[in-house]
């Protein structure tokens, strides 16, 4: 009985899916051997639980909601107690509930801006690398112009001109200025991939440029893009925290940077360590955890690093 084209397509899909799962499994086996990677994942899981906890009513009590609610019994900063595990701020708002809400904001800002910059950078890099010529020149010159702009300074100038920025405006601005480096890396990878036999075979069969880029090249550059995404999350969280601390963040949104700004603005920097230390420690640990995960992923993607580690 002759094999139909539909059966061939399904067989090819099943084969590619099998190879993808095998690569995923082998990558996880390498990743879990990395101590830093395991520590990073545990820390990220803890922060994810904190972010999820910001939706649980018993942890975000209506009486002392991080922004709108104020404890009627307290109207000043107090230390940790059974009712307020990390104490309260200068108007009686619970610091622990603010910390949980700050974890959610950190993930929103970090992951959203990193995802946007990776999507834009990956598409630009693939198109520039595969098309070449004038298209490559125009896209890379545009990337160079954006790359030389200091992200934090430009956002500070925009905030000074237009006032305090909302969280989503900050996310968009961070993504806007963080894609060029990704585009350059993906472009160099695409230049190498487009000379591979499987791309030549696809071109000979009449596949369009769009199909070659997104069906054959993109799966091979995605792991590298995801690696860069972990580092982009770290920089985005730090930029948002710096903006909030300097007074350019959204005053209606509780973030760790905004908590530090409140500590400084109200003069409790040295008088209330229970208010100062938690957000600072959280910012340090979450950026460190994403960095450790990124380093472990780098080892998974680059066999040379595994060989160097084995030689040591």
User: How far apart are alpha carbons 114 and 37 in whole angstroms?
Assistant: 20
Show the tokens assigned to 10.
């399904």
User: What's the mean pLDDT when you consider all of the chain?
Assistant: 84
Residue 194 lies in a domain: yes
Provide the 3-class DSSP secondary structure of residue 94: strand
| Domain membership flag for residue 178 | yes
Q: How far apart are CA 205 and CA 287, in angstroms?
A: 46
Residue pair 128/110 in contact by the 8 Å Cβ criterion: no
**The pLDDT value given to residue 259:** 93
Give whichever of 45-59, 148-162, 182-196 has the largest mean pLDDT: 182-196
pLDDT at residue 285, as a whole number: 97
CATH number at residue 216: 1.10.3720.10
Span 222-266, pLDDT tens digits: 888 988 999 999 999 999 999 999 988 888 888 999 999 999 988
Q: What is the DSSP letter of 179?
A: S
Tell me whether residue 118 is in a domain.
yes
Q: pLDDT digit string (tens) for 103-142?
A: 999 999 999 999 999 999 999 999 999 998 999 999 999 9
Overall domain count for the chain: 1
Evaluate whether residue 42 is within a structural domain: no
CA–CA distance, 205 with 5 (Å, rounded to integer):
15
The reply to whether 22 falls in a domain is: no
Q: What is the pLDDT of residue 306?
A: 56
Q: What is the mean pLDDT of residues 197-207?
A: 86
Residue 249 lies in a domain: yes
User: What is the pLDDT, as a whole number, of residue 1?
Assistant: 45
- CB-CB contact of 50 with 98 (8 Å): no
For residue 143, the enclosing domain spans 47-311
Which class for 204: exposed (0-12), middle (13-18), buried (19 or more C-beta within 10 A)?
Answer: exposed
For residues 207 and 310, give the distance between their C-alpha atoms in angstroms, rounded to a whole number: 42
Q: Does residue 36 form part of some domain?
A: no
User: pLDDT category, 13, cuts 50, 70, 90?
Assistant: very low
Percent of the chain with pLDDT over 90: 43
Give me the pLDDT at residue 62, please: 43
User: CB-hemisphere CA count at 13 Å for 121?
Assistant: 33
Q: Would 62 be classed as within a structural domain?
A: yes
């Amino acid at each position: 009985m002759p094999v139909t084209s539909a059966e061939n397509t399904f067989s090819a899909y099943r084969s590619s899916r099998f190879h993808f799962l095998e690569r995923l499994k082998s990558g996880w086996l390498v990743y879990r051997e990395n101590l830093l990677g395991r520590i990073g994942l545990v820390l990220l899981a803890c922060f994810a639980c904190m972010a999820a906890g910001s939706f649980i009513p018993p942890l975000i009590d209506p009486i002392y909601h991080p922004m709108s609610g104020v404890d009627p019994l307290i109207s000043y900063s107090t230390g940790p107690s059974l009712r307020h595990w990390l104490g309260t701020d200068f108007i009686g708002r619970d610091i622990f509930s603010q910390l949980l809400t700050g974890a959610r904001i950190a993930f929103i800002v970090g992951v959203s801006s990193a995802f946007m910059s990776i999507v834009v950078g990956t598409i630009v890099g693939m198109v520039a690398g595969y098309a070449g010529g004038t298209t490559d020149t125009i896209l890379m010159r545009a990337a160079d112009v954006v790359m030389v702009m200091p992200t934090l300074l430009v956002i500070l100038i925009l905030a000074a001109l237009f006032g305090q920025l909302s969280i989503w405006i900050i996310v968009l601005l961070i993504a806007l200025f963080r894609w060029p480096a990704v585009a350059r890396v993906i472009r160099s990878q695409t230049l190498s991939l487009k000379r591979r036999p499987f791309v030549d075979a696809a071109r000979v069969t009449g596949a369009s440029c769009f199909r070659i880029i997104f069906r054959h090249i993109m799966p091979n550059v995605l792991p590298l893009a995801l690696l860069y995404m972990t580092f982009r999350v770290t920089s985005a969280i730090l930029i948002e925290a710096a903006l909030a601390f300097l007074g350019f963040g959204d005053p209606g949104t509780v973030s760790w940077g905004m908590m530090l700004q409140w500590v400084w603005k109200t003069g409790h920097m040295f008088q209330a360590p229970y208010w100062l230390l938690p957000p600072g420690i959280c910012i340090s640990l979450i950026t460190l955890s994403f960095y450790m995960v990124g380093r472990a992923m780098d080892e998974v993607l680059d066999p040379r690093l595994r060989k160097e580690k084995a030689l040591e």
